[in-house]
């Protein structure tokens, strides 16, 4: 009876049908934001159209996943889909990239800022991954995250908080020094190109600059924390466990 209840007590996948609709509405709002920015002349016109296409695809994947994986609950499949579900938030977090690529500043300066920013993201992601790999070498950690019920390994969604504690690196809770480090590339770019940026369209430019400064740490968190965590604990390790033991890794409540 205990094994049966572990498998049949529901999972977050049960909500993916509703999530598909919620994501679509939220994606339309994000697309609307980029449409307004394009009309104000501070963003490329194709971005809002791209957002529409991407969001329709994401919502369709969520709905398809709800249909095909609701019963089997394969964790690695859900892990891939969970990363797709965060696309609207990622599109908001990457506003700094879209703005930087669009504003009239020298190409060398654009490329330098983009490379530095992705270097920061990559370094953060690598350090988070190193923390997770180090923790995963401990049998006690693995047995806490993936519980063996005899037939399957069960990953409880309530274990997400436990996994978050395996690394202390969080750009949204950083020190003053780290915040200054995140903002330095943008400050340099905007300072060196103020005459090009601040023309007659000052208001929208200021809004995009503020949003870029706020959104960059968010992009570090989404890519360097959430995506790394999902890839490692919801895709890589489940596939490794399934190959090693022959047991399926499924998602529980």
Q: How far apart are CA 154 and CA 139, in angstroms?
A: 15
The predicted structure's pLDDT at residue 10? 62
Q: How far apart are CA 112 and CA 94, in angstroms?
A: 16
* pLDDT value at residue 197: 56
Measured on CA atoms in the order 181, 187, 188, 189, is the torsion positive or negative? positive
Q: Which residues of the chain register pLDDT less than 50?
A: 1-6, 175-177, 192
Question: Which of 228, 117, 233, 221 is CA-nearest to residue 170?
Answer: 221
Per-residue tokens: 236:
């890589």
CB 215 within 8 A of CB 102: no
Closest CA to 89 of 46, 49, 47, 55: 55
CB-CB contact of 96 with 244 (8 Å): no
What is the pTM for the complete model shown? 0.84
The shares of helix, strand and coil residues in the chain, as percent rounded to the nearest 5, are 80, 5, 15
Give residue 8's pLDDT.
Answer: 54
Do 205 and 102 meet the contact criterion of CB atoms below 8 Å apart?
A: no
**Residue 228 pLDDT:** 96
Q: Which residues pair with 249 in a beta bridge?
A: 153
pLDDT in the model for residue 183: 62
Please report the sign of the dihedral spanned by the C-alpha atoms of residue 237, residue 243, residue 247, residue 248. Answer: positive
**What pLDDT score was predicted for residue 176?**
42
């Amino acid at each position: 009876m205990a094994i049966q209840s572990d498998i049949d007590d529901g999972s977050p996948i049960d909500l993916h049908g509703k999530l598909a609709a919620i994501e679509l509405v939220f994606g339309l709002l994000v697309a609307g934001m980029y449409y307004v920015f394009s009309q104000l002349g501070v963003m490329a016109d194709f971005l809002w159209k791209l957002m529409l296409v991407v969001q329709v695809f994401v919502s369709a994947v969520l709905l398809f996943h709800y249909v095909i994986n609701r019963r089997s609950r394969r964790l690695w499949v859900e892990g891939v889909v969970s990363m797709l579900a965060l696309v609207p938030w990622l599109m908001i977090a990457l506003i700094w990239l879209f703005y930087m690529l669009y504003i009239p500043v020298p190409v060398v300066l654009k490329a330098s800022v983009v490379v530095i920013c992705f270097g920061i993201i990559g370094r953060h992601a690598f350090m988070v991954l190193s923390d997770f790999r180090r923790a995963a070498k401990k049998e006690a950690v693995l047995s806490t995250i993936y519980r063996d019920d005899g037939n399957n390994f069960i990953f409880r969604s309530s274990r997400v908080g436990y996994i978050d504690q395996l690394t202390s690196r969080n750009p949204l809770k950083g020190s003053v020094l780290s915040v200054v480090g995140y903002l330095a590339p943008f400050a340099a770019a905007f300072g060196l190109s103020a005459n090009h940026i601040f023309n007659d369209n000052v208001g929208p430019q200021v809004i995009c600059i503020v949003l870029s400064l706020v959104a960059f740490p968010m992009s570090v968190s989404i890519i360097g924390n959430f995506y790394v965590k999902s890839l490692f604990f919801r895709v890589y390790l489940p596939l490794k466990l399934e190959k090693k033991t022959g047991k399926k890794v499924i998602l529980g409540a």
